[in-house]
Amino acid sequence: MAADWSDIEIALIIEDYFSMLRSELAGESYNKTFHRRSLLPLLTNRSEGSIEFKHQNISAVLAKLGQPFIVGYLPRYNYQKVLEDKVLDYLIGHKDIENEFRIFSEKEVIAPAEVQFDNLLVEGPEIKEIKEPWMSYNRNPIKVNYLEREQNNRDLGMKGEELVLDFEKWELRRIGKGKLADTVRWIAKEEGDGAGFDILSKYSNGKDKYVEVKTTKLSKEAPFYFTQNELLFSKDHSKDYHLFRLFNFEKDAKMFTKIGSLDSICISIPVTYRGYF
């Protein structure tokens, strides 16, 4: 059995991770394999696989904190609490990175060119059991949730919804339902965000289909955020409520869908509370 990572090893791999993350956020190329192999001589009896796994753990810490993470290192939440503490220490000591997170979440989005609708849909992630320290208290030094701010980026949201709108019309026309395609409505644009869903589409039999679109530039495992209004509407219309999750939006846009109430298709964590006196 491999020995626990020492404080020095954890500090080294966190420094390496954030070096890659900064390059990614800036749109600069870098080589993950080169980074892993450069770390090996500095660690004690570690493999490239163990380094990659630890990088994925760091992605999970950042996702929990509501911050961007490296797209190629998908979050793995079964990490030790000491890793979270060390990542927090890094963020406290490198406050400049928050500006990079802010730019990532707020900048104008480049819509993907020539999306092939017949290759857009992929299999969605399975619901995984998330163990502690997911629900543990943390001293997050970054007060803004930049993952949520990215999702609420109006430019990103509008472009994602427009792509799904076109996809739904394309799908209906593909099966010979052109008249139904002409009735698909972009509710969020026409009426605002208070309806509890974004697009009123149609099944092939003409029945209403409620579509909620959540878009990110990150991977499909990135957390998404929903309102109480969206949750309640999805519960009232669970059989016809469809989450369309667009990811890797700027580079190689893909999408998966889930049907049902929002609290049944994912692990939902309450992040704010309302108090009364």
Q: What is the DSSP string of 132-176?
A: TTTTS----S--S-HHHHHHT-HHHHHHHHHHHHHHHHHHHHHTT
In angstroms, what CA-CA distances link 72 with 33, 59, 75, 221, 222? 12, 10, 9, 11, 12
Residue 274 binned pLDDT confidence (cut-offs 50, 70, 90): confident
Q: How far apart are CA 225 and CA 151, in angstroms?
A: 8
pLDDT attached to residue 1: 57
pLDDT attached to residue 269: 86
Quick: pLDDT tens for 99-148.
Answer: 999 999 999 998 888 899 999 999 998 887 665 555 666 678 999 999 99
Quick: pLDDT tens for 171-219.
Answer: 999 999 999 999 999 999 999 888 999 999 999 999 999 999 999 999 9
Place of tokens 């049907």: 259
Q: Provide the whole-model pTM.
A: 0.92
Quick: pLDDT tens for 40-93.
Answer: 999 999 999 999 999 999 999 999 999 999 999 999 988 988 999 999 999 999
pLDDT attached to residue 80: 87
Cβ 117 vs Cβ 165: under 8 Å: no
What distance lies between CA 78 and its chain's CA centroid?
18
Residue 229 pLDDT greater than 80, yes or no: yes
Residue 162 pLDDT greater than 80, yes or no: yes
The mean of the pLDDT values for the chain is 93
Extract the tokens encoding 179: 């008249």
In the chain, % of residues over pLDDT 70: 96
- 262 Cβ contact list (under 8 Å, min separation 6): 212, 226, 230, 231, 234, 235, 241, 243, 268
